[in-house]
Structure 1
Amino acid sequence: MADQTAHEHATTATNNAPVSVEVDTSYENDSSYGDELSSYSASLTSSVLDYRHENGRRYHGFHDGSYLLPNDEKENDRLDMVHELCLQMLHRKLYLAPIKNPQRVIDLATGTGIWAIDFADLHPQAEVIGCDLSPTQPTLVPPNVKFVVDDIESEWAYERNPFDFIHARYLAFAVRDFGRLIKQCYRSVKPGGWVEFQDWDGQPFSEDGSLKGTGIERYFKEVNGAFESAGYEVRPGPKLEQWFKEAGFVNIHVEKFIIPYGIWPKDKHLKRLGVWAQAGAEAGYEAGALAVLTRYKEWTKEDVMLLASEARADGRKRGIHSMFNFYVVYGQRPEN
């Protein structure tokens, strides 16, 4: 069974002064922990599973409010669709970094855990960790996978046992400080190890002006603006290379992919991508807008549903040729 427990961060002393931690003497003077340990563990588990239910959707309970998309079954299905989109885009590859014989790997914000599970099947010699705010991953997984509940924007303690490979995918709309996060990755990967981020430029565009005045354009104007006002990065893809450089990575490689929305492209490969992109978008319009617009912009649920409906309807019109850019960026920590 996968390990779904909150990751505990180390506490460090300031100026090497000894840390004073007061002992709780309320327990009976036993030589070992008994029922109180089970009780305390149960309360921690309960807090992680104490989900927020709002506007008909379910949201994470651990660090409530730090991530604004749902974690319910409908959203998990959407995340798995985006996983398939990425596999189609990369011709069934899980990653592009030139890793060799990885022994210790982490998937940041693993979601349903599908990438971590696929990677573990592909590399049975590797220990694979998937971390996320929500313990919604399956329990029947390869023996070399475990899942932990953690907030990737909190302080890490992975530097003590660094990784050969760190992977992160579609963190747009989820992370406030990518620069800091990537520096944490640098400190937590072994010398010679690799880090790979795969992410969106969350602003759609069209080459023929067909996006102008559409429900899609309005949706992303409202939603992207709300996320940015709340402090989230919505267009990380084109900035990843600079963040990797600032963190100290070398041998940085950047690939940009076009993801069309819909079946309008003539090219068969792009048409397949467009089908998956449209399926993911239609499932995600409501999920992406509900929390951010109702919590931060005082929209009603009905207003959000109308916005999503208009975007969904325009997304099915062949005359609207919208696209997104998607970036895969990887870099290596220097050997020395």
Structure 2
Amino acid sequence: MAEPSPQEPATTSTNNVAANVEVDTSYENDSAYGDELSSYSASLTSSVLDYRHENGRRYHKYRDGSYLLPNDESESDRLDMLHELCLMVLHRKLYLAPIKKPQRVIDLATGTGLWAIDFADEHPGSEVIGCDLSPIQPSLVPPNVKFLVDDIESDWAYESNPFDFIHARNLTVSIKDVGKLIKECYRSVKPGGWVEFQDWDGYPTSEDGSLNDTKLQLFYNEVYGAFEDAGYEVRPGPKLEQWFKDAGFVNIHVEKFAIPYGVWPKDPHFKNLGAWMQAQAEASGFEGYALAALTRHKQWTAEEVTVLASQARADGRKRDIHMIFNFYVVYGQRPEN
């Protein structure tokens, strides 16, 4: 099927929702560090590994406080489950953009690095970089993937050695200015190259109103309210299309997916998605999601967070509460000219 002309800022949309349902200079090069990235182990500094421990959870130390979720083993388990969930949503696809033989690829906020590793296996001829604030990725990885400790909200230095494909996923509550980040992606992708973001509308809903006035709804209202007050973007998904347009991308494509929470759906596919959604949420505990945001920015005590998290978890296990999250996949192309 012929692709739309790159000269036309065409946008296509597919709605899959069921009707009912600061930089450490010790490793910074004086030029663009794309070609000269040191190995993952050599890039680590003592400040990166000096983790912050708080309320029984472990957090990143590099750029301390800029990311409010833990980076401990429980959180890594959650991120791995979330990777599997996203693969299920996309029918085992890592991406939807129509890329062809990419040479240089970067995965922003790579987390445990599974997306970057899987992509490197799938495209052995490509060089894949995964960057994150925390060095929590495995050491045994394909030879064409490397990990970098970096802050993607700082100024980039990739323009002189741009990428064929830039990927980002699950940046909800992680980034303060997603629109600015997407403009950085535009500057750092080759003409004709593609950028794809996969992200959420953080606030859940229910088609039958069963979420209303529950402790589960209260949990997300309180936690996301704390993130918003701290300046973080909690609803990037539905805004991605406009941000891509504002940055100058063309051939923009949008897909929206409904992800239930729990095993209440009748449809086997949605039931399976709901089970995984609930499993990843409980893997790190609701506390992990809420502790730093509420204790650092809303003066809650850890005990108060624990009580609310326990109540939300209990609500999440009720089959008569039909909570749904909306997940968006948006990709666009930098014009050839």
Q: TM-score range by the shorter chain?
A: 0.7 to 0.9
Q: Aligned partners of 2:232 and 2:86: how far apart in 1?
A: 23
Q: CA deviation at 1:9?
A: 6.5
**Alignment-mate amino acid for residue 153 of structure 1:** E
SS at match of 1:278: helix
| Structure 1: gaps (5+ residues) | 13-40
Q: 1:239 to 1:42 in 2, by over 3 A?
A: closer
* Counterpart position of 1:32: none
Using the alignment, how far apart are the partners of 1:154 and 1:56 within structure 2? Answer: 29
> Is the alpha carbon distance of 1:101 and 1:93 closer, same or farther for their aligned partners in structure 2, counting shifts above 3 Å?
same
% identity of equivalent residues: 77
Q: Give matches, 1:219-258, under 5 Å.
A: 219-258=219-258
Tell me how far 1:43 sits from its aligned partner.
11
For structure 2, list consecutive stretches of 5 or more residues without a partner in the other structure.
Answer: 1-24, 33-40
Instruction: Kindly report the root-mean-square deviation, in angstroms, between the aligned alpha carbons of the 2 structures.
Output: 1.7
> Structure 1 residues 55 and 129 mapped into 2: Cα distance closer, same or farther (>3 Å)?
same
* Cα offset, 1:7, TM superposition: 5.8
CA contact (8 A) 2:261 2:274 kept: yes
Q: Give the corresponding residue for 2:200.
A: 200
Alpha-carbon distance change, 103 to 59 in structure 1, aligned in 2, over 3 angstroms: same
Q: Counterpart of 1:242 in 2: which secondary structure?
A: helix
Displacement of 1:187 after TM fit? Answer: 0.3
Q: Which amino acid aligns with 1:320?
A: I
Deviation of 1:8 after TM superposition, in Å, equals 2.2
**Secondary structure, in 3 states, of the residue corresponding to 2:331?**
strand
**Which one-letter code corresponds to 1:329 in the other structure?**
V
Task: Could you list the structure 1 runs, at least 4 aligned residues long, displaced by more than 2 angstroms after superposition.
Answer: 5-12, 41-44
Map 1:1-336; keep pairs closer than 5 Å.
Answer: 8=28, 10=30, 45-283=45-283, 284-336=285-337
How much does 1:214 deviate? 1.0
Alpha carbons of structure 1 residues 84 and 279: separation in structure 2 relative to 1, 3 Å: same
> Aligned pairs, how many?
304
Which whole-Å CA distance do the structure 1 matches of 2:76 and 2:221 have between them? Answer: 25
Asked if the contact 1:9/1:156 (under 8 Å) is kept, the reply is: no
Contact 1:7 1:149 in 2 (8 A): no
The one-letter amino acid paired with 2:316 is G
Aligned equivalents of 2:197 and 2:120: distance in 1?
A: 18
CA deviations 1:16-64 (Å, max 9, x no partner) are xxxxxxxxxxxxxxxxxxxxxxxxx999711111110000000001100
Any idea what the Cα deviations from partners look like across 1:86-117, whole Å, max 9, x if unmatched?
01100100000000001100000000000000
Contact 1:108 1:167 in 2 (8 A): yes
Amino acid corresponding to residue 324 of structure 2 in structure 1: M
Q: Normalized against structure 2, the TM-score is what?
A: 0.88
> For residue 211 of structure 1, what is the amino acid of its counterpart?
L
For the residues of structure 2 that align with 1:280 and 1:73, how far apart are their CA atoms?
13
**Cα distance change, pair 153–6 in 1 and its aligned pair in 2 (3 A):** farther
